[in-house]
Chain A
Amino acid sequence: MIKITNLEKYYKTEEVQTIALNKLSFEVKEGEFAAIMGPSGCGKSTLLNILGLLDDPDGGSYLFNGIEVAGFNERKRAQLRKHNIGFVFQSFNLIDELSVYENVELPLIYTGVKPAERKERVHAVLEKMQIMHRRKHFPQQLSGGQQQRVAVARAVVNNPKIILADEPTGNLDSSNGNEVMDLLTELNEAGTTIIMVTHSEHDAKFSHRIIRMLDGQKVTENVLV
Chain B
Amino acid sequence: MFKLYLKSAFRNLWNRKFYSFLNILGLAVGLATSIMLLMWVQNEWSFDKFHEQAENIYRINSHFKTETEENVWGTAPGPVKVYARDIPEIKKLVRINFASGVTISDKASERKFYNNKVAMADENFFDVFSFPFLYGNKEEAMADPYSVVLTRKTAEKIFKSDLEEIVGKQLISNGETFNIKGIIQDIPKNSTLQFDAVIPMSYYAAMFKAGGGNGQWKTIDTDVGNYTFSSFVELSNNASVSNAANKMSSKLKNAIGDNGDFNIFFSLQPLKDIHLISADGNSSSATQVNIIMLVVIMLLAIASINYINISTAQAIKRAKEVSVRKIIGANKHQLFLQFLLETTLLFAFAIILAMALIYLLMPVYNFIADNELAFSIFDSSVWKITGISFFATLIASSIYPALLLSSFKPIESLRGRIKSGVKSGTLRKGLVVLQFSMAIILLIATLFMSQQMEYMKNRDLGYSKENVVMVPLNSEARKHLDALKNTLNNNDAIENTAVTSVTDFSDIDGSTGDLDWPGKPKNSSIIITQVYAEKDFIPTMKIELLEGHNFFGTPADSSSFILNETAVRQMGLQKPYVGQEISFHSKKGKIIGVAKDFNFKHLREKVSPLILFSFWNIKNQLIVRTKAGQEDKAIAALASAFEKYPGEEPFSYSFIDDQFDTRYKADEQSETLFEVFAGIAIFISCLGLFGLSTYTAQTRKKEIGVRKVLGANVATIVSLLSKDFLKLVLIAIIIASPVAWWCMKEWLQGFAYRINLDWTFFLIAGFIAILIALFTVSFQAIKAAISNPAKSLRTE
Binding site for B on A (CB under 8 A): 49, 52, 54-55, 75, 78, 81-82, 87, 93-98, 102, 105-107, 109-111, 154, 158
* B327 near A106: Cβ-Cβ < 8 Å: no
Asked if B411 and A110 make an inter-chain contact with CB atoms under 8 angstroms apart, the answer reads no
**B414 close to A93 (CB less than 8 A):** yes
Instruction: Quote the shortest CB–CB distance from B117 to chain A (angstroms).
Output: 64
Chain B residues numbered 307-336 whose CB sits less than 8 Å from any CB in chain A: 320-321, 323-331, 334
**For residue A106, which residue of chain B has the nearest CB?**
B328
Task: Let me know if B410 is at the binding interface, CB within 8 A.
Answer: yes
Q: Let me know if A95 and B325 touch, CB within 8 A.
A: yes
29 cross-chain CB contacts under 8 A: A52-B327, A54-B327, A54-B410, A55-B411, A75-B331, A81-B327, A81-B329, A82-B328, A87-B327, A93-B324, A93-B414, A94-B324, A95-B8, A95-B321, A95-B325, A96-B15, A97-B12, A97-B15, A98-B4, A98-B7, A102-B4, A105-B4, A106-B330, A107-B328, A107-B329, A109-B1, A110-B325, A110-B329, A154-B328
Beta-carbon contacts of B373-412 to A below 8 Å, as 1s and 0s? 0000000000000000000000000000000000000110
Within 8 Å by CB of A109, from B4, B323, B326, lies B4
CA A82 – CA B324 in complex, angstroms? 12
Minimum CB–CB distance for B40 against chain A, Å: 41
B328 touches A54 (CB 8 A): no
Given contacts A93-B414, A109-B1, A109-B4, 19 further A-B contacts (CB under 8 A): A49-B411, A54-B327, A54-B410, A55-B411, A81-B327, A81-B329, A82-B328, A87-B327, A93-B324, A95-B325, A97-B12, A97-B15, A105-B4, A106-B328, A106-B329, A107-B328, A110-B325, A110-B330, A110-B331
**Which 10 A-B pairs give the minimum distances between C-beta atoms?**
A82-B329, A110-B329, A97-B11, A54-B411, A107-B328, A97-B8, A93-B324, A110-B330, A107-B329, A49-B411
Complex: how many Å from CA A206 to CA B511?
107
Let me know if A78 and B321 touch, CB within 8 A.
no
A158 vs B325: C-alpha distance in the bound complex, in angstroms?
A: 14
Considering the complex, give the chain B residue whose CB is closest to the CB of A92: B324
Question: Measured between alpha carbons, how far is A74 from B410 in the docked complex, in Å?
Answer: 11
Closest-by-CB residue of B relative to A53 is B327
**Least CB distance, A136 to chain B, in whole angstroms:** 12
The interface size bin for chain B is: 20 to 34
Complex contacts, B414 vs chain A, CB 8 Å = 93
B324 to A, closest residue via Cβ: A93
Which residues of chain B have C-beta atoms less than 8 A from A96's C-beta? 15, 321
Residue of A nearest to B323 (CB): A93
Q: Are B15 and A106 in contact (CB under 8 A)?
A: no
**Which residues of the other chain, A, contact B331 by a CB distance below 8 angstroms?**
75, 78, 110
Q: Considering only CB atoms, which chain B residue lies closest to A83 in the complex?
A: B329
Q: List A contacts of B11 (CB < 8 A).
A: 97-98
A75 to B332, CA, bound (A): 9
Bound-state Cα–Cα, A148 to B221, Å: 98
Scoring B4, B7, B326, B327 by chain A CB atoms within 10 A of each residue's CB, the highest score goes to: B327
Q: How far is the CB of B357 from chain A (nearest CB, A)?
A: 29
Complex Cα–Cα for A117 and B759 (A): 72
In the assembled complex, the Cα of A93 lies from the Cα of B321 at a distance in Å of: 8
**How far, in angstroms, from A55 to B305 measured CA to CA in the complex?**
34
Residues from chain A with Cβ under 8 Å of B411 in the complex:
49, 54-55
B721 CB, nearest partner CB in chain A, Å? 28
Cα–Cα distance between A93 and B416 once the two chains are bound (Å): 13
Q: How far is the CA of A87 from the CA of B323 in the complex (A)?
A: 12
A98 to B414, CA, bound (A): 18
Give chain B residues whose Cβ lies under 8 Å from the Cβ of A55: 411
> Within the complex, what minimum Cβ distance (angstroms) separates B697 from chain A?
22
Q: Collect the chain A residues with CB atoms within 8 Å of residue B15's CB.
A: 96-97
Give A75's nearest chain B residue, CB to CB: B331
Name the contact of B7 in the complex, choosing from A52, A102, A154 (C-beta under 8 A): A102
Nearest chain B CB to A7 CB, angstrom units: 16
Q: State A115–B410 Cα separation when bound (angstroms).
A: 27
Chain A residue numbers with a CB within 8 Å of B1 are 109
Of A52, A78, A98, A102, the residue contacting B329 (CB under 8 A) is A78
CB under 8 Å from chain A, chain B span 1-60: 1, 4, 7-8, 11-12, 15
Q: Which residues from B are CB-within-8-Å of A105?
A: 4
CA distance A211 to B14 in the complex (A): 46
Given contacts A93-B414, A109-B1, A110-B334, whether A87 and B8 have CB atoms under 8 Å apart is: no
- List, in ascending order, chain A residues with CB within 8 A of B410's CB: 54
Q: Which A residues lie within 8 Å of B8 (CB)?
A: 95, 97-98, 102
Assess whether A95 is in contact with B329, with CB atoms less than 8 Å apart: no
- Nearest CB of A to B600, in Å: 70
Chain B residues, CB < 8 A from A54: 327, 410-411
**Shortest beta-carbon distance from A138 to chain B in Å:** 9
Set of chain B residues within 8 Å of A98, measured between Cβ atoms: 4, 7-8, 11
Looking at the assembled complex, report how far the CB atom of B795 sits from the nearest CB atom of chain A, in whole angstroms: 15
Q: Which of B15, B326, B329, B331 has the most CB of A within 10 A?
A: B329
B328: which A residues are within 8 A, CB to CB?
A: 82, 87, 106-107, 110, 154
Closest B residue to A154 using CB positions: B328
Contact B325–A78 (Cβ < 8 Å): no
Task: Report B514 CB to chain A, min CB distance, Å.
Answer: 83
Judge whether B12 and A106 touch: CB under 8 Å: no
A107–B329 CA distance with the chains assembled, in angstroms: 6
CB closest chain-B residue, reference A109: B1
In the assembled complex, the CB of B632 is this many whole angstroms from the nearest CB of chain A, namely: 71
A61 to chain B, nearest CB (A): 21
Chain A residue at smallest Cβ distance from B14: A97
A87 vs B410: C-alpha distance in the bound complex, in angstroms? 13
- Between B8, B11, B12, B324, the greatest number of chain A beta carbons within 10 A of the residue's beta carbon is seen for B324
* Smallest beta-carbon distance A139→chain B, Å: 11
Bound CA span A97–B330, Å: 16
Kindly list chain B residues whose C-beta atoms are within 8 Å of the C-beta of A110.
325, 328-331, 334
Say how far B341's CB is from chain A's closest CB, in angstroms: 13
Contact mask for chain B residues 524-551; partner A; CB cutoff 8 A; 1 contact, 0 none: 0000000000000000000000000000
Question: In the assembled complex, which residues on chain B have CB atoms less than 8 Å from the CB atom of A102?
Answer: 4, 7-8
Closest chain A residue to B16, Cβ basis = A97
Residues of A within 8 A of B324 (CB): 93-95
Contact in complex: B320, A111 (CB < 8 Å): no
Of the candidates B4, B320, B329, B334, the one whose C-beta lies within 8 Å of that of A93 is B320
For B270-283 the 0/1 string (1 means CB < 8 A from A) is 00000000000000
Nearest to B330 among chain A residues (CB) is: A110
Q: Which residues from 324 to 377 on chain B have a C-beta closer than 8 Å to any C-beta of chain A?
A: 324-331, 334
Least CB distance from B456 to A in Å reads 58
Kindly state the separation between the CA atoms of A117 and B725 in the bound complex, as whole angstroms: 53
Min CB distance, A121 to chain B, in Å?
14
List residues of chain B with CB within 8 A of the CB of A49. Answer: 411
State the CA gap A158–B329 with chains docked (Å). 10
Write out the residue numbers on chain A whose beta carbons fall within 8 Å of the beta carbon of B7: 98, 102
- CA–CA, A98 to B327, complex, Å? 16
Alpha-carbon gap, A106 to B326, bound state (A) = 11
Q: Report A199 CB to chain B, min CB distance, Å.
A: 17
**Alpha-carbon separation in the docked complex, A111 to B328 (Å):** 9
| Complex: A102 Cα to B6 Cα, angstroms | 12
Residues in A neighbouring B4, C-beta threshold 8 A: 98, 102, 105-106, 109
In the complex, which of the residues B321, B326, B329 contacts A111, with contact meaning CB atoms closer than 8 Å? Answer: B329
Q: Which residues from chain A contact B320 at a C-beta distance below 8 Å?
A: 93
Residue picked from A93, A97, A105, A109, most chain B C-beta under 10 Å: A97
Measured CB to CB, the nearest residue on chain A to B12 is A97
Q: Tell me the bound Cα distance from A162 to B326 in angstroms.
A: 17
> Roughly how many angstroms separate A156 CA and B329 CA in the complex, as a whole number?
13
Chain B residues near A107: list those with CB within 8 A: 328-329
Q: Which residues of A contact B323 (CB under 8 A)?
A: 93
User: B326 to A78, Cβ gap below 8 A?
Assistant: yes
Q: Give the nearest-CB partner of B321 in chain A.
A: A95
Query: Distance in Å from the Cβ of A133 to the closest Cβ of chain B?
Result: 21
B4 shortest CB reach to chain A, Å? 6
Q: Which residues of B contact A106 (CB under 8 A)?
A: 4, 325, 328-330
Q: How far is the CA of A81 from the CA of B411 in the complex (A)?
A: 14
Bound complex: CA A97 to CA B12 (Å): 6
